[in-house]
Amino acid sequence: MPANVHYTLAPSCARCMSRDTSRRGSWCGCGSVFYCCSECLTRHSPVHRPMCRPFSPKEVWGIKIIQNWNDPPRIGHPADYFRHELCRVDPGRSTTHPIFERGELCPLTQRIGIPLRIYRTSVMRESSTAGPNEIAVKLRVDPSNGLAPARWRLTDHPGECIVIREDRKPLTRELLETIYSFVVHFMDYPIDDVEQESWARWDGLLNPSVWHFFARKYYQKQSEESGRNAFHYFSPLLCT
């Protein structure tokens, strides 16, 4: 290969992750995502439309989790409690969202290769009337014992919370619901010390391989059995 020749990797489709150069694709109007064909653009619209905005290195798309009482929600889907949230990051300025300085890492999500950062909005408001948020509590559990810190479970309710990806890539409602469902799924596994004497340690299941397999099946079930078109396709590339 000549030293002065450079090859540019074709952009991947935001829906199917394809890099098929034989198909003539197009960029979305906002210029932040690429689609390999009109079908992918149409099918991915429910996911991208709420975040359709020109890319800025000073903005990160996260998810606000509104208060919820049931775990898992008895009516609807977990994503029904999610709202898109644009978080500004501008180091040294008051416009920087507090999640970047006061947010807490979710250690379990680090184990599966897609670390999240979560922030309780009631902390900033010093609110004493924050309500329960079981979804947020589950995202904050510790892999060593399956429990969230006591301040999340016992002392007060977390109230509304905001979640972002630690790598600052856009976080979709669909991906966050799948991560939450993954955590809930493994809450049924024997975790306490007595049961762990005869069962393999549950934290051994918390790795990217198990997560990818679960996520693929979850997306498929939501799309095919529940008719939720936004869960069109899962690829491990969504996590990188």
Q: Give the pLDDT of residue 145.
A: 85
Last residue of a domain, one of 19, 34, 55: 55
Residues 145 and 33 in one domain: no
* Whether residue 162 is found in the same domain as residue 125: yes
Same-domain status, 90 and 206: yes
Residue 190 lies in a domain: yes
- Strand, helix or coil for residue 166: coil
In the prediction, which pLDDT does 2 show? 39
82 shares a domain with 44: no
- CA–CA distance, 81 with 73 (Å, rounded to integer): 9
Q: Are residues 32 and 93 in the same domain?
A: no
Q: Write down which residue in 21, 39, 55 finishes a domain.
A: 55
- Same domain for 106 and 41? no
Q: What is the DSSP string of 184-218?
A: HHHTTS--SHHHHTTSPPGGGG-SHHHHHHHHHHH
| Side chain identity, residue 218 | Y
Q: Is residue 189 part of a domain?
A: yes
Give a yes or no: residue 172 inside a domain.
yes
Query: For residues 120 and 158, what is the distance between their CA atoms, to the nearest angstrom?
Result: 6
What confidence category does residue 69 fall into, taking pLDDT thresholds of 50, 70 and 90?
confident
Structure tokens at 214: 């679960």
Which of 25-29, 90-94, 186-190, 192-196 has maximum average pLDDT? 25-29
- Asked if 50 and 72 sit in the same domain, the reply is no
Residue carrying the six token digits 């972002």: 164
Q: Is 235 part of a structural domain of the chain?
A: no
Q: What is the pLDDT of residue 27?
A: 92
Q: Which domain holds residue 20?
A: 9-55
pLDDT tens digits, 128-161? 557 889 999 999 999 988 899 988 876 667 899 9
Asked if residue 136 and residue 28 are part of one domain, the reply reads no
User: What whole-number distance in Å separates Cα of residue 23 and Cα of residue 16?
Assistant: 13
Spatial CA neighbour of 82 closest among 60, 63, 62, 109: 63
Residue 229 — very low, low, confident or very high, per pLDDT cuts 50/70/90? confident
Q: What percent of the chain has pLDDT over 90?
A: 47
Average pLDDT of the chain is 85
Q: 20 in a domain, yes or no?
A: yes
- Number of structural domains in the chain: 2
Residue with tokens 């199917």: 16
Cα–Cα distance measured from residue 119 to residue 139, given in angstroms and rounded to the nearest whole number: 11
- Residue with the bigger pLDDT between 11 and 197: it is 11
Helices (H), 49-198: 99-102, 107-111, 121-125, 134-139, 150, 173-186, 193-196
Best CA proximity match to 84, nearest among 114, 63, 115, 112: 63
Same domain as 93, residue 28: no
Tokens of 10: 């074709």
Same domain, yes or no, for 48 and 127? no
121 and 111 within one domain: yes
- Which sign, positive or negative, has the C-alpha torsion 226, 228, 234, 238? negative
Residue 238 lies in a domain: no
Indicate whether 237 belongs to any domain: no
Domain contains 1? no
User: Same domain for 38 and 154?
Assistant: no
